[in-house]
Structure 1
Amino acid sequence: MANRNVYCARTISANKKTNIKRHDATKHREFTATFPLGSLARHQKLDKLQKSLTSSENMLVSFTPTDKRATEASLRVSKILAKTMLPYFHAEIVKECMVEAMERLFPDKRDVVGKVKAIPLSRKTATGKIESINDHLRMTLLTHIDQADYFSIAIDESTDIMDVAQLAVFVRFFDGEEMKEALLTLVGLERETTSQATYDALVKRLDKLKIPL
């Protein structure tokens, strides 16, 4: 397992005290000021960051090498389905197509076809994989926002196919190396779309995400 910094989940090339101190002093010098050594706030913050890092690393852990590759293949197919907004049951169709293609391309290599058949791509599995990807991306984004000195938000209100007003919330911040911009969340505005209702819904969602204004 790679050595990963609990603050930012970045890989540290060598697990040496000097390397870690240099990285923390360069990238996370504000952390100690905000969360002093020995404080309860620091203990709780580190515990939260460690749980987030452990959760993301456990997504592909505890598998044999073959199982790990099959799981990674399942994640990649599920990610494509999510990006193209196709129904999750299409994962089963993708697998069927892959098996047919492998049987024609490699008729003498049953082990190759067997590996394709072993890829978990049921509708339920695809749903679980996409939810795992979503949870990981959300936690990573929230961690980066929490560590940023400043962030800005932009909102855009539109309606979905059910004619329900949806508030898209975008966030922009500097992560210590470059500017980042991402879709933070969608907020439904079911009753009214006045400025006050929009503001209240936005503040309520940011509070739920534990993002302080």
Structure 2
Amino acid sequence: MASHYVVRHVDRADPDTIAALRDAGVATVHEAAGRTGLLGPAVRARQPGVVIAGSAITVSCPPGDNLMVHAAVEVCRPGDVLVVATTSRSTDGMVGDLLAASLVARGVVGLVIDAGVRDLAALRDMGFPVWSRAVHARGTVKASAGSVNVPVVADGQVVRPGDVVVADDDGVVVLPVTSAPAVAVAAERRLAAEAGKRETLTGGTLGVDLYGLRPLLADLGVAYVDRAPS
């Protein structure tokens, strides 16, 4: 029985749900999801001001070997996000402009990789957004087996095939397909509530009053004094 797989079929979220989550952004989606699904800060945006969302195509591969990334390209569909994790910590540049060109041709909207990328200037020029642990010129080999569309761990977060991935300047968050619609609704409500709060705060109301924090400060023993105690 095989120990490594390329799984062809992935259950994907509805495009309207994905679009709503993209419009909400990572911070709002993370809060709306009950503060779950957030990757650690080591995997970060390598270009400013870009927001993507799509269904995860996952890759598990040995460090320093991008054979399975090439294998994953075939199962990608338009709107997908490729999520790559290595079986041990790596900063090698596993994806460059040539692999990115192949991903763009398949309609992949971006890359999240818990390892390194290379040829960053070329990736930016071609408009292919990446979130990576590192940028490093060290290349890779194509020699070892791994798997495509199996659960992986990227910077401390489990990512499953088909999970909705949202990524922007604030980081990367992932959601199970089954919970994505409810989170999209909750995110829309949060955005509406925040718009009202923003208007109130812009008008000069203090956060301690808007959120009713003065009693809490008092309960915690915080005193307001005109001068610091000597």
**TM-score scaled by structure 1?**
0.23
TM-score normalised by the chain length of structure 2:
0.22
Indicate the structure whose relative CO is greater, using CA pairs within 8 Å and at least 6 residues apart.
2
Answer 1 or 2: which has greater strand percent: 2
- Greater share of helix: 1
